[in-house]
């Protein structure tokens, strides 16, 4: 409650012991994590993991059963002029269907005490100027999503929170958003973005917070989370003498599996070892590649068995 906690340079998000119980389900279960400024943090979890509920508690839309969530040291409800500090994009379809895009933004400006021309600037920022005077019901999914981002940017906030913003964006739009969010993080802003698109997250995020069934599964820089997987690297080998090589590799205590295309998947030894073993056994190789585990594999492994939909 102490004032002055907010310093312009910190946009750190701290979630601590956050819990939300609905009638039949504990949507968020004693969840704690931090989100650092200057980085894009991906917030990942299976359907029903509690991502949206967590973000809504962070934004004072849903009351936590227990625990706290602060932005720059303050609860959202205690921020004066919240839009100047925090921007949020929650649902794609959150504008009155009969209102034009520009008027939607002007209504928000009026309530936040922002000058009217911020509406035009924000529309230009997301490339929606040509559709400014069209009604919201005539917007495509991607245009709605962009309007949501424009609304979040009205107050030029230091912290940006997005719930599945890539929904409905075309490849060009997704690339645009990636550059946009990375640019904002580069300026020192805090970006927290939930998503299911793991390959996209791998390109976008610096850090990840992974939750399942309302609980924290893993938090940290993307590289570190991927690297932390016990299994580590896997080597792909293509050879006409699969059986001989398999026998030779097993002697090196590697585990070998064959996929549907006849490619060997070798775990437990690295690529140079496989090459040396092949040479010693006089086996011909057509392909030898190291497969780094990607975010998707790590995610699936980490959340395996933790029921998604509850």
Partner 1 sequence: MKLVRSELLKIRTTNTWWIFALIMLPLWALTLGINWLQTDALAAGNTEGVPPEQIDQVRALMDQDALAANLYTNGQLFGLLIVMLLGVVVVTSEFFHQTVTTTFLTAPHRTAVMAAKLVAAAALGLVFWLLFTLLNIPAGAAILGSVDVGPQLGSGAVWRAIALNGLAYLLWAILGVGLGVLIRSQIGATVTGILLYLGGTIGAITVLSLLANRFGEWINKLQLLVPSLASSLMVSGVEIPGNPPRWAGAAVLIGYAAVAGAIGVLTIRRRDIS
Ligand X SMILES: Nc1ncnc2c1ncn2[C@@H]1O[C@H](COP(=O)(O)OP(=O)(O)OP(=O)(O)O)[C@@H](O)[C@H]1O
Name the site residues for Mg ion (rule: CB under 5 A): 52
Dihedral Cα 32, 33, 34, 35, nearest 10 deg: -130
| Strand 13-21 relative to strand 66-71, pairing | antiparallel
Q: Output the smallest distance, CB 196 to partner 1, in A.
A: 19
Pair of tokens at residue 280: 């010693």
Q: Does residue 22 interact with ligand X by CB under 6 A?
A: yes
Which of ligand X, partner 1, Mg ion, none does 258 bind, CB closer than 5 to 8 A by kind?
none
CB-nearer residue toward partner 1: 91 or 296 = 91
By C-alpha distance, which of 191, 222, 198, 190 is closest to 208? Answer: 222
Q: Does residue 53 interact with ligand X by CB under 6 A?
A: yes
Q: Output the smallest distance, CB 50 to partner 1, in A.
A: 11
Q: How far apart are CA 157 and CA 125, in angstroms?
A: 14
Q: Does residue 310 interact with ligand X by CB under 6 A?
A: yes
Among the listed residues 41, 100, 190, 194, the single contact to partner 1 using CB under 8 A: 100
Contact 192, 43 (CB under 8 A): yes
Q: Does residue 82 interact with ligand X by CB under 6 A?
A: no
Residues 197-256 that bind partner 1 (CB under 8 A): none
CB-nearer residue toward Mg ion: 198 or 264 = 198
Total number of residues binding ligand X (CB under 6 A)? 12
Q: Output the smallest distance, CB 49 to ligand X, in A.
A: 4
Pair of tokens at residue 69: 């969530």
> Percent helix, strand and coil across the chain, each rounded to 5?
35, 25, 40
Return the SS3 of 179.
helix
CB-nearer residue toward Mg ion: 94 or 228 = 94
Residues 115-154 that bind partner 1 (CB under 8 A): 151
Q: Output the smallest distance, CB 24 to ligand X, in A.
A: 7
Which of ligand X, partner 1, Mg ion, none does 191 bind, CB closer than 5 to 8 A by kind?
none
Contact 249, 274 (CB under 8 A): yes
Contact 54, 31 (CB under 8 A): yes
Contact 215, 15 (CB under 8 A): no
- DSSP 8-state class, residue 308: S
Region binding partner 1 by CB under 8 A among candidate stretches 75-83, 169-177, 185-193, 240-248: 75-83
Q: Does residue 195 interact with partner 1 by CB under 8 A?
A: no
């Amino acid at each position: 409650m102490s004032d002055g906690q907010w310093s312009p340079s910190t946009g750190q998000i701290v979630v601590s012991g956050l819990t939300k119980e609905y009638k039949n389900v504990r949507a968020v279960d004693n969840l704690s994590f931090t989100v650092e400024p200057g980085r894009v943090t991906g917030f990942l979890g299976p359907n029903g993991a509690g991502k949206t509920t967590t973000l809504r508690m962070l934004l004072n839309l849903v009351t936590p059963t227990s625990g706290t969530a602060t932005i720059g040291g303050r609860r959202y409800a205690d921020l004066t002029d919240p839009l100047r500090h925090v921007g949020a994009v929650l649902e794609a379809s959150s504008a009155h269907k009969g209102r034009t895009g520009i008027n939607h933004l002007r209504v928000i400006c009026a309530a936040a005490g922002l000058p009217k021309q911020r509406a035009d600037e924000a529309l230009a920022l997301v490339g929606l100027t040509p559709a400014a005077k069209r009604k919201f019901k005539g917007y495509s999914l991607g245009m709605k999503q962009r309007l949501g981002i424009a609304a979040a940017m009205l107050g030029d906030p230091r912290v940006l929170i997005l719930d599945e913003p890539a929904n409905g964006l075309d490849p060009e739009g997704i690339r645009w958003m990636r550059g946009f969010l990375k640019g904002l993080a580069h300026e020192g802003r805090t970006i927290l973005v939930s998503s299911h698109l793991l390959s996209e997250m791998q390109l976008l995020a610096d850090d990840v917070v992974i939750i399942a069934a309302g609980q924290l599964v893993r938090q940290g820089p993307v590289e570190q989370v991927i690297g932390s997987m016990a299994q580590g690297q896997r080597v792909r080998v293509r050879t006409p003498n699969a059986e001989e090589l398999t026998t030779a590799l097993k002697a090196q205590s590697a585990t070998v599996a064959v996929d549907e295309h006849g490619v060997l998947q070798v775990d437990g030894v690295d690529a140079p070892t496989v090459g040396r073993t092949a040479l010693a056994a006089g086996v011909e190789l057509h392909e030898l590649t190291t497969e780094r585990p990607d975010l998707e594999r790590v995610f699936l492994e980490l959340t395996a068995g933790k029921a998604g939909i509850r």
